[in-house]
Chain A
């Protein structure tokens, strides 16, 4: 049971920032927000995760609203290789809890 809502698809021009939204209005206090992406015919790739503070790494930035009911993944300068399905997942990072995937957002980066 996915606890997140994402738009099914988005387009982004190459070189521009890609902003991928995710709603998780029922998130609980101990759940983190994780983002993964899956390029066609490959396994999912970890991007970033956070609890309540904004996070940034070499791949992306994660902006979480103050009420934690939504977040945005930002790819600052999208390239054609960023074309993939992006999954937003909330979970408690403990024990044997696996990632449960929803339908994600299919991002198409256009030249």
Chain B
């Protein structure tokens, strides 16, 4: 299947700092990428849909000014958590829609963020 990578795999930061997470589609071009967040023992929650060359679409309750998404190319989307706080500590997972078959989504390995 298609490969999606994320960087970094884990990050620890101080409260008030900003953290950038990269999501790359390695062997295909993705006009659409999705960002999810997962808290311990819970399911994945969709945060936003990232479209190449246009503004991201955020789910209800997700602050667009806090979670900045940039989809500057067909293989790269970035999520920046601005002014991170301990409650932002979570597992962030990106996904890209592969333009094959029935539009299967492939997921990155996730980024674990810990805000102290």
Partner-B contacts on A (CB < 8 A): 32, 34, 36, 38, 41-46, 49, 51, 87, 93-104
Contacts and interface: CB of A to CB of B under 8 A. Distances in A.
Given A43-B4, A44-B93, A93-B104, 9 more contacts: A46-B107, A93-B103, A96-B32, A98-B34, A98-B49, A99-B34, A100-B46, A101-B36, A101-B43
B105 interface: yes
Q: Taking chain B's interface residues, is the majority helix, strand, or loop, or is none over half, making it mixed?
A: strand
Contacts of B93: 43-44
Contacts of B103: 93-95, 97
29 contacts: A41-B112, A42-B110, A43-B6, A43-B108, A43-B109, A43-B110, A44-B95, A44-B107, A45-B107, A46-B104, A46-B107, A51-B102, A87-B43, A93-B102, A93-B103, A96-B32, A96-B51, A96-B57, A96-B97, A98-B49, A98-B105, A99-B34, A99-B105, A101-B36, A101-B44, A101-B45, A102-B43, A103-B43, A104-B43
